[in-house]
């Protein structure tokens, strides 16, 4: 092959093996060509092993063809120092460019043919240099080791890619397996991979939150219709920090966090706020201090308050209607169900005495229902549950959890006080699992005092009939019966709640009272406008309350941390063929159990059911060859730089005539 | 077994720091070489680059062994490994400059200062510039 000749009278072009720009251009073409080859292979559904096989065939063909057609020219190019400098620099720049582009996807060099192509060219260059610089007296062994090492690392890496095993299998707790289904291009293949000489058993699956129990989440992309994006972003706001809310120009500051906040807020009448009619009432029920509360006619769940003794309920509505009257009478529940929540997923089942609910690793049976739950002491002084009546006043359900080993645990669920039953059942339920008893349509109350705004009337409704009606005025008590009265003390047409939280007053009891709240300030540095609000992780009904800021630009919510893949822990045991345990480890997402070159770990998704986990297997051969290459490289570098001068001096002294 | 990968990774990190330190000294020697006549600082510049090259190579290899022991995959690259490899390859290119007649001497020293720029990018940019792990 001849070098390009410059026309007469012009500046001579450097030969290719000394021309840096031409070399870089050629390397760019080399990389682009291999990217094209890989995209072609991808389109034809070649898996990783097939792609590496194709790569080897093509590149060997190219090198052999080059050596056959222009051996001298090709050899001179590969052994030239400028080409070495170009290759090494180009590889560094290419790696950096690959790492900087591509968003958040992991940098997967071993699946990139362009990377193997560059490395192959460099390895062949280094082998040619090693060949050219023969012979190798003792002081030059280091040079040989360094220039052979790249080929060993390359061969080890290619072997690993070619023979790589990736598989997956869904296991239940207690299940032992000796094979996995192979994954090809991320999809399950029918081909199975048999574990060589050992088996794997899933001992336990648990979710252990690795961060704070409650986190701040932000919705920052309003859709213009009152909604926001589907998935919020988590915001970490360290004390004193002012992180920017992503996707907006707003800044956030966390002013205060209380793990056990007590609501000390109040309602005020704000004429500028939207219409929100409220009635403040005072209950005279024979206590030293009368009870005061607010009722809201247009807020679901807040238009009614029950007297603490259950003797009557107070209702506030905009209008009176016969439809309202039909609702104000005792009634049995229209439906009863069990709700099981596990890792953010909720399962529903009918709550029927005698019924059972099966899961892969346990069983729930409904033993008994208590419509009006109470506890008494039996003859031996032990607490005993019973039902005071058949009226659904205080509905509870008794269940039994059956474990695979035969043991059982009692589970008690309250429809009215789910928080109480959550605390009661925590030691008996599997970790990460929450069980609730829900009744719909039940009404236990038979007496109601109804205030209506439109006609300013108060009515006494008993057993579904209006027994008394009179106009109401502020300060005038409405007597329910002797000793029981309701007095309206204030009406608010534009009621607005001004929240305020204080720490639980008794520090010794604070630990048992958990209501995490956070005070945040959001401000716009451009306009210097700011808003402060409290975020309640356990609102009045036990669920987190989201707040809007800056005319609905962002929505913030402080809530229990959503379970993440990193929280999943699976305990795996390796057994020999006789079933004896060889190795046990608690694995998580990036911390596998490694046995005979096989790595086992849970996949990146949360399990759909309790007691079940998808386990991935990865195995790569050829590391020993790469390791040999790495060691050659290290020994070679140290030899070249530090041992060579010593050996060379000795060789020179040995040659000097004595 | 579970402590071995972390020990290897920690040793790798220590050597990485050593490599970065050597390059820093090499940059200083390079700056002094440009300001002075004579080849003394050029030799020192090359010596410190060689030391950094060796330490960085040891660090990358130890982290690869740590990854193999820990997760069964020596190619489990992280951000640190990517930037470390880029710096190491740059260093390799600079070392070869001394064997190219047209680029040895002062030009190679300038090359080492470019390496210094890459080092600064690695030290300060790694945490700021988003790169794939």
Question: Given a cut of 50, is residue A348 above it in pLDDT?
Answer: yes
CB contact under 8 A, B82 and A99: yes
Q: Do B82 and A599 touch (CB under 8 A)?
A: no
pLDDT at B2 over 50: no
Residue corresponding to tokens 């269940």 = A399
Per residue in A498-526, pLDDT (tens digit) is: 888 988 877 666 665 678 899 999 988 88
Rounded Cα distance between A351 and A399, Å, is 10
Give me the pLDDT at residue A259, please. Answer: 85
User: Does the pLDDT of residue A177 top 90, yes or no?
Assistant: yes
Least Cα separation, residue A17 to chain B (angstroms): 12
**Whole-prediction pTM value?**
0.63
Does the beta carbon of A641 lie under 8 angstroms from any beta carbon of chain B? yes
Q: What is the pLDDT of residue A585?
A: 93
**Chain B environment of A597 (Cβ under 8 Å):** 72
Closest residue on chain A to B56 (Cα): A634
The string of pLDDT tens digits covering residues B33-86 is 988 877 888 889 999 999 999 999 999 898 888 877 776 666 666 777 788 888
Inter-chain residue contact B133 with A107, CB threshold 8 Å: yes
Closest CA to B70 of A374, A302, A593, A92: A593
Cis ω before A135 (30° cut-off from 0): yes
Q: Tell me what the pLDDT averaged over chain A comes to.
A: 87
Question: Higher-confidence residue: A407 or A511?
Answer: A407
- Cβ-defined contact of A637 to B54 (cutoff 8 Å): yes
Which of A272, A266, A275 has its CA nearest to residue A493? A275
Query: Which uninterrupted H or E stretch holds A281?
Result: strand A278-284
User: 3-state DSSP call for residue A541?
Assistant: coil
Contacts of A85 in chain B (CB under 8 A): 93, 96-97, 100, 103
User: Which two three-digit tokens encode residue A502?
Assistant: 């204080």
Inform me whether the pLDDT recorded for A212 exceeds 90: no
Between A372 and B128, whose confidence is greater? A372
B1 band by pLDDT with thresholds 50, 70 and 90 = very low
Residue B90 touches partner A, C-beta closer than 8 Å: yes
Q: According to the model, what pLDDT value does residue A512 have?
A: 57
Position A9 scores a pLDDT of 47
Q: Which two tokens stand for residue A503?
A: 């720490």
Give the mean model confidence (pLDDT) for residues A533-544: 84
Tell if the CB–CB gap between B93 and A627 is shorter than 8 Å: no
* Of residues A197 and A189, more confidently modeled: A197
Query: Which of A4-18, A57-71, A271-285, A429-443 shows the lowest per-residue confidence on average (mean pLDDT)?
Result: A4-18
- Residue A410 is predicted with a pLDDT of 93
Q: Read off the pLDDT band of A486 (50, 70, 90).
A: very high
Closest-approach residue (CA) in chain B for A629: B61
Residue A629 Cα to chain centre, angstroms: 39
Residue contact B57–A104, C-beta within 8 A:
no
- Within 8 A by CB and 6+ apart from A507, the residues are none
Integer Cα distance of A486 and A626 in angstroms: 84
Q: Is B128 on the interface with A (CB under 8 A)?
A: no
- Interface check for A15 against chain B (CB to CB < 8 A): the answer is no
Contacts 24+ apart (CB under 8 A), A29-33: A30/A117, A30/A118, A30/A121, A31/A94, A31/A114, A31/A117, A31/A118
pLDDT score at A77: 92
Residue of A nearest to B72 (CA): A599
Q: Give the pLDDT band of residue A185 (cuts 50, 70, 90).
A: low
pLDDT of B129 reads 58
Tell me if B96 and A88 make a contact (CB, 8 A cut-off): yes
Tell if the CB–CB gap between B96 and A157 is shorter than 8 Å: no
Nearest residue to A186 via CA among A47, A279, A26, A320: A47
- For residue A119, the model assigns a pLDDT of 92
pLDDT tens digits, B4-16: 667 777 888 888 8
Give the pairing of strands A447-452 and A313-317. Answer: parallel
Contacts of B111 in chain A (CB under 8 A): none
Query: Chain A residues with CB inside 8 Å of B1's CB?
Result: 594
For residue A157, give the H/E element and its range: helix A141-162
Flag whether residue A99 sits within 8 Å of chain B, measured between CB atoms.
yes
Task: Identify how many contiguous H helices and E strands chain B contains and give both numbers.
Answer: 5, 0
- Dihedral angle at the C-alpha atoms of A648, A652, A655, A656, nearest 10 degrees? -160
Percentage of chain A beyond pLDDT 90 is: 44
Write out pLDDT tens, residues A255-281.
888 888 888 888 888 998 889 999 999
Chain A positions in Cβ-Cβ contact with residue B90 (cut-off 8 Å) = 88-89, 92
């Amino acid at each position: 092959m001849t070098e390009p000749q410059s026309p007469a009278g012009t500046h001579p072009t450097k030969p290719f093996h000394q021309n840096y720009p031409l070399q870089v251009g050629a390397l760019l073409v080399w990389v682009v060509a291999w990217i094209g080859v890989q995209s072609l292979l991808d389109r034809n559904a070649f898996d990783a092993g097939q792609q590496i096989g194709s790569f080897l065939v093509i590149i060997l063909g190219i090198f052999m063809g080059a050596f056959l057609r222009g051996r001298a020219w090709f050899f001179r190019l590969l052994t030239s120092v400028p080409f070495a400098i170009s290759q090494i620099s180009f590889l560094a720049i290419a790696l950096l460019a690959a790492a900087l582009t591509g968003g958040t996807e992991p940098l997967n060099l071993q699946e990139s043919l362009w990377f193997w192509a560059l490395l192959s060219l460099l390895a062949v260059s280094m082998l040619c240099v090693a060949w050219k610089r023969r012979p190798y007296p003792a002081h030059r062994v280091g040079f040989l080791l360094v220039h052979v090492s790249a080929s060993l690392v390359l061969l080890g890496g290619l072997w690993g890619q070619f023979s790589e095993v990736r598989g997956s299998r869904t296991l239940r707790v207690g299940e032992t397996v000796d094979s996995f289904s192979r994954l090809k291009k991320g999809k399950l293949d029918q081909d199975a991979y048999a574990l060589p000489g050992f088996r794997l058993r899933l001992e336990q699956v648990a979710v252990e939150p690795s961060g704070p129990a409650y986190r701040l989440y932000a919705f920052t992309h309003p859709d213009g219709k009152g909604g926001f994006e589907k998935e919020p972003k988590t915001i970490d706001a360290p004390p004193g920090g002012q992180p920017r809310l992503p996707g907006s120009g707003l800044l956030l500051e966390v002013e205060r966090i209380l793990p056990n906040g007590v609501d000390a807020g109040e309602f005020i009448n704000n004429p500028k706020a939207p219409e929100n009619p409220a009635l403040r009432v005072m209950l005279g029920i024979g206590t030293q201090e009368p009870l005061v509360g607010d009722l809201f006619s247009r807020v679901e769940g807040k238009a009614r308050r029950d007297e603490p003794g259950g003797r009557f309920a107070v209702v506030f509505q905009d209008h009176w209607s016969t439809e309202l009257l039909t609702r104000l009478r005792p009634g049995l529940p229209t439906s009863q169900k069990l709700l099981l929540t596990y890792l953010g997923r909720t399962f529903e089942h009918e709550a029927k005495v005698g019924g059972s609910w099966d899961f892969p690793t346990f069983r729930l049976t409904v033993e008994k229902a208590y419509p009006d739950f109470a506890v008494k002491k039996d003859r031996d002084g032990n607490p005993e549950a019973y039902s005071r009546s058949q009226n659904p006043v205080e509905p509870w359900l008794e269940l039994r959890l059956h474990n695979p080993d035969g043991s059982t645990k009692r589970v008690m669920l309250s429809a009215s006080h789910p928080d109480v039953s959550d605390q009661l059942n925590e030691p008996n339920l599997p970790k990460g699992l929450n069980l609730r008893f829900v009744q719909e349509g039940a009404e236990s109350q038979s007496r109601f005092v109804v205030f209506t705004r439109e006609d300013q009337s108060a009515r006494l409704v008993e057993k579904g009939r209006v027994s008394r009606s009179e106009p109401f005025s502020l300060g005038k008590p409405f007597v329910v019966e002797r000793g029981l009265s309701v007095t309206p003390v204030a009406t608010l047409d534009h009621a607005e709640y001004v929240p305020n939280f204080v720490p639980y007053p008794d520090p010794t009891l604070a630990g048992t009272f958990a209501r995490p709240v956070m005070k945040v300030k959001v401000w716009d540095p451009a306009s210097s406008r700011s808003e402060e609000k409290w975020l309640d992780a356990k609102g009045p009904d036990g669920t987190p309350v989201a707040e809007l800021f800056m005319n609905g630009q962002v929505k913030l919510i402080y809530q229990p941390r959503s379970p993440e893949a990193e929280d999943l822990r699976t305990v795996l045991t390796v057994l020999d063929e006789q079933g004896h345990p060889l190795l046990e480890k608690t694995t998580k997402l990036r911390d596998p159990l490694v046995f005979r070159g096989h790595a086992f770990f849970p996949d990146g998704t949360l399990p759909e059911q309790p007691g079940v986990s998808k386990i991935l297997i990865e195995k790569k051969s050829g590391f020993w060859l790469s390791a040999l290459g790495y060691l050659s490289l290290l020994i070679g570098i140290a030899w070249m730089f530090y041992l060579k001068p010593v050996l060379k001096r000795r060789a020179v002294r040995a040659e000097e005539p004595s | 077994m579970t402590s071995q990968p972390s020990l290897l990774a920690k040793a790798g990190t220590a050597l990485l720091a050593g490599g970065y330190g050597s390059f820093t000294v090499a940059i200083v020697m390079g700056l002094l070489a440009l300001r002075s006549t004579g080849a003394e600082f050029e030799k020192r510049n090359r010596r410190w680059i060689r030391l950094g090259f060796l330490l960085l190579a040891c660090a990358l290899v130890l982290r690869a062994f740590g990854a193999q022991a820990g997760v069964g995959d020596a190619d489990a690259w992280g951000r640190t490994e990517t930037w470390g490899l880029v710096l190491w390859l740059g260093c390799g290119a600079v070392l070869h400059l001394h064997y190219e007649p047209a680029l040895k001497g002062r030009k190679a020293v300038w090359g080492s200062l470019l390496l210094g720029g890459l080092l600064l990018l690695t030290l300060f940019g790694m945490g700021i510039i988003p790169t794939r792990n």
